[in-house]
Structure 1
């Protein structure tokens, strides 16, 4: 998908040959053989053994094949987390088809766009979303049929009916090669329309191996994994990894994230690993259930999707112990760029703690910090984080323009800014799109956010740049007070920061909200914060800053300082 075909170019005089690889659905066959009677999936009061799961997947694959689905066809899946969504992943793999899951929180028109963008022939839609089914049917010329997941009235038939009609059928895994697509991983669309990152069988086999080696070494069928995020994205990759080791997957009983129920399941099933994002981990750590349940079975709490603020990190370590694992990676690299293992998560800010790092390069992967011209920068110089290695995706589906922007000299450009120290630890400064320039100086919001969160009354914060007639852009901070904390004013917070943040980095306004807007994956995209600021009529107010006596300086002082700063 990047414009090259590695299977046809001779290397060193070798004759080009097929690079056949294991079909990922073979993981189920392995589990049915070795762990057939062990539980592989738990949802509410129901559970399924690996032998039963393999049988359901084979029956569903047979039903899809009977309906005309063949290798390379795309199967769109719009569903809440449930058993049949999990089966659909492996049924698609088994046929050599492409699994195209969506975030179930998307609107009907958004799912319709994903259907047309992927060219899906089949749509497996949860019964709670009849409007989505109608929108996809109306918008997708390639769509041939819709089947229902769970209860409801939409579609030709339900997946349970399809599985029952082909019970006992055995479908052999389709032969696949390294670059054969298995999954269209749609980006969250932080800029423009979502794009389909093409994940392949060969790539994902490396990802599974790498996750086991770098994120959760020693994982076996005696472990257990709790799902607290949609299986359509990072959690789905994580559960694929669990399948490779015969680990039972445990779902929350409903799509609502009930923290008390999550801790109850951890205690009941002796859960040993969880994949989550910093926002959800923070919520779990601050919930009373963390103190009244037994979570001593946890060995790996893997968090990704955004950097975790240092204060939140320390709170989690103090409550849960040294079980945190951070990784940095985008959907296009399936989470395989860096890792910060438990032993490097230090709860104390001592001289040996590498505060702010997202870790070092994953096994088999290489990171380069590059300038705008593609030149590799020196240690501690800030640039774009770029990566090469087997975990990098094949490219965006049917999008040569996006591919041309995403790759440079073979390196995948993440769009994230950061630097690397002399030991190879990577530090993320922020998204390139989040950085703003004020009076000629580059401002990286994350640096300021870290300082704001050291205030005992502030639980969450988002800093972003907005237009300003004098300085070009200025920073504003949207803060969420901690529950039970006393009142905080703009003057209070600015005074608190006066000795911690240089004047040119000081936000010009502080707003206090009850909550920050979050995406369907628990992240806080700056575009959503900006949209909310605009809807509240606050984007035209930053120049009305608080008194300069708290450390912002006069315009004359700042003009001189900015001139010096810009060199």
Structure 2
């Protein structure tokens, strides 16, 4: 990390980081929308203050809880920055969540205001919010609240108060509200920035939902190093390639699924650089097969670095471009200074500034920290002699599809209500494009009509399940395998049976 980035890393709050970067490089570009719009660091600070004043006039105060469910747009970043200027508590919600998750997030966070995009990609978010009884509802897509910054109180100066509530499915049916501070998010973004060795000459890209905790990570990285990123409101290949090329993007990625998509496009024209300026793919959030690393480096001619993070700790380890090919292919990289990793009976535990403060539910918080203050991840792995982390599995029954956590129990609970389902086990199976795919293995009652994948997905859609959680595979079995003591379903046997490419 360069000296300027190290100095900025000491910022107490996100707003202080925005102000300090704006003072250093006011004319430097920070946000490049895929529709051609651009915003500088100085413009970011100025516009955030005006939006903050508009929000203040609406009644938003320091400590007010403001939920927002918005796509990856300049306006979304401006709203987040404005809320940071006021010192509100913000609760980002992934745009493709629907009634079940959104309603739970609004209730549990006790949100006093809720920002939505209106009708977006054919879905009426405003109508959904009204049905859910959202308080302080307002649309924040093409326009944002505006006002004179003279009305604003002094910005917050405490970076250790909880000001962010992120949502993760974890292993339970309902999401968990994860509590973060400005400093924990700055620490996570600093880890990412330090590992990737980026410079002010780089051009990044955010092709994933900014509402994901990775959005805050990336914004911190832009502020620390003073380079811009292209925002993709709707990401699809090959359509997005022209935008990558036009902006001269040097670093891209997001998760294993993104690597696979870029590689698929590259294979259409072997030997011709897909994005001539691209030099690095980076990401995390899902397992990375070693062969995918080797294929990207070999066929695309770029470096690939992969990391390990979670909503509770946005960045834990990250591969560095100067790591050995063996470490980049088979490990998740090394932790930064200040991140302690302890392995207890094969289970990974974490302590450091980037670790969350816990959950909205105090009982969940008490259960996740050990007596020494280490976060118990439920993930399994070990550290190599060089300090690189190798993940070998996880205790948590959670499926990671395209970098997003999916609760198996949530889907199982819904399917148990189907008259054609006697019992069901939902598992994650290895998938080269998605990291994992969702598979529902169903035991049907006698006389029931055989269920198909179309039957199951249609039923789950009607039940309000988000599209990204729908199974991609359904298997009907005579009986689920169980142990001989408590008759628990042996999911590992199902993974072994249906996880091979020939299964189905």
Pick the TM interval, shorter chain. 0.7 to 0.9
Aligned to 2:362: 400
2:300 corresponds to 1:320:
yes
Q: Measure the CA separation in 1 of the matches of 2:184 and 2:429.
A: 40
Q: 1:306 aligns with which of 286, 300, 317?
A: 286
What are structure 1's unaligned runs of at least 5 residues?
Answer: 1-19, 152-157, 347-351, 372-382, 436-444, 447-465, 467-472, 483-512, 518-524, 544-567
- Map residues 514-553 of structure 1 onto 2, 5 A cutoff: 533=473, 536-540=474-478
1:210 to 173, 191, 198: 191
Report what 1:332 is aligned to: 312
Cα RMSD over matched residues? Answer: 3.4
The correspondence of residues 6-17 of structure 1 with structure 2, limited to 5 A, is: none
Instruction: Find the aligned partners of 2:93 and 2:432 in 1 and give their Cα distance.
Output: 33
Match of 1:284 in 2: 262
Post-superposition CA distance 1:211-268 (Å, at most 9, x none): 2222x22422x3211111000111342123213322222122x42x222243322322
Q: What TM-score does the superposition give when structure 1 sets the normalisation length?
A: 0.66
Q: 2:39 matched to 1:48?
A: yes
**What corresponds to 1:485 in structure 2?**
none
**Structure 2: runs of 5+ lacking an equivalent:** 1-9, 401-411, 413-423, 434-452, 458-465, 482-504
- CA separation in 2, counterparts of 1:425 and 1:264? 36
- Alpha carbons of 1:290 and 1:313: their partners in 2 closer, same or farther (altered >3 Å)? farther
- What is the SS of the residue equivalent to 1:359? coil
Question: Offset of 1:296 from its aligned partner?
Answer: 4.3
- 1:242 aligned to which of 218, 222, 228: 222
Kept in 2, the 8 Å contact 1:121–1:144? The answer is yes
How far residue 134 of structure 1 moved from its aligned partner, in angstroms, is 4.0
Q: Between the two structures, name the one with larger relative contact order (CA 8 Å, sep ≥ 6).
A: 2
Question: Is residue 369 from structure 1 mapped to residue 343 from structure 2 by the alignment?
Answer: yes
Which of 99, 102, 107 does residue 116 from structure 1 map onto?
A: 107
The equivalent residue for 2:331 is 357
Q: Could you tell me how far apart the structure 2 residues matched to 1:479 and 1:201 are?
A: 35
Using the alignment, how far apart are the partners of 2:151 and 2:47 within structure 1? 10
Q: How does 1:57-136 map to 2 (within 5 A)?
A: 57-128=48-119, 131-136=124-129
| 1:418 matched residue in structure 2 | 381
User: Per-residue displacement from partner, 1:72-99 (whole Å, max 9, x unpaired)?
Assistant: 1111111111121110110111001122
Residues 90-133 of structure 1, C-alpha deviation per residue, up to 9 Å, x if partnerless?
A: 01110011221111111133212111111111111101167543
Per the alignment, residue 229 of structure 1 pairs with 208
The whole-number CA distance in structure 2 between the counterparts of 1:178 and 1:479 is 39
- Cα pair distance change 1:170/1:52, threshold 3 Å: farther
In the aligned structure 1, how far is the partner of 2:37 from the partner of 2:11? 34
Distance 1:423 1:64, change over 3 A: same
Alignment CA distance shift 1:305-1:147 (3 Å): same
Q: Aligned partners of 1:475 and 1:26: how far apart in 2?
A: 45
Q: Which position in structure 2 is the counterpart of 1:459?
A: none
For residues 480-503 of structure 1, give each alpha carbon's deviation from its aligned partner in whole angstroms, at most 9, with x where no partner exists: 799xxxxxxxxxxxxxxxxxxxxx
Residue 359 of structure 2 aligns to a residue in which SS? Answer: coil
Counterpart for residue 22 of structure 1? 12
8 Å CA contact 1:79, 1:126 repeated in 2: yes
Larger radius of gyration: 1
- Going from structure 1 to structure 2, the CA distance change for 1:62 and 1:35 (only over 3 Å counts) comes to same
Report the Cα offset of residue 316 of structure 1: 1.1
SS of match in other structure, 1:71: coil
Question: CA separation of 1:172/1:298 partners in 2, compared to 1, >3 Å: closer, same or farther?
Answer: farther
**What's the secondary structure of 1:301's corresponding residue?**
strand
Deviation at 1:70, TM superposition (A): 1.2
Task: Tell me what 1:558 maps to.
Answer: none
Q: Is 1:344–2:318 an aligned residue pair? A: no
SS in 1 for 2:91: strand
- SS of 2:82's equivalent in the other structure is helix
Q: Contact 2:118–2:124 at 8 Å: present in 1 too?
A: no
SS of equivalent to 1:42: strand
Q: Which position in structure 2 is the counterpart of 1:199?
A: 180
Alpha-carbon distance between aligned partners in 2 of 1:429 and 1:264, rounded to the nearest angstrom? 38
Quick one: distance in 1 between partners of 2:185 and 2:391? 25
Secondary structure of residue in 2 paired with 1:430 = strand
1:38 aligns with 2:67: no
- Tell me if structure 2 keeps the 8 A contact 1:317–1:323: yes
Segment drifting more, 278-287 vs 293-302: 293-302
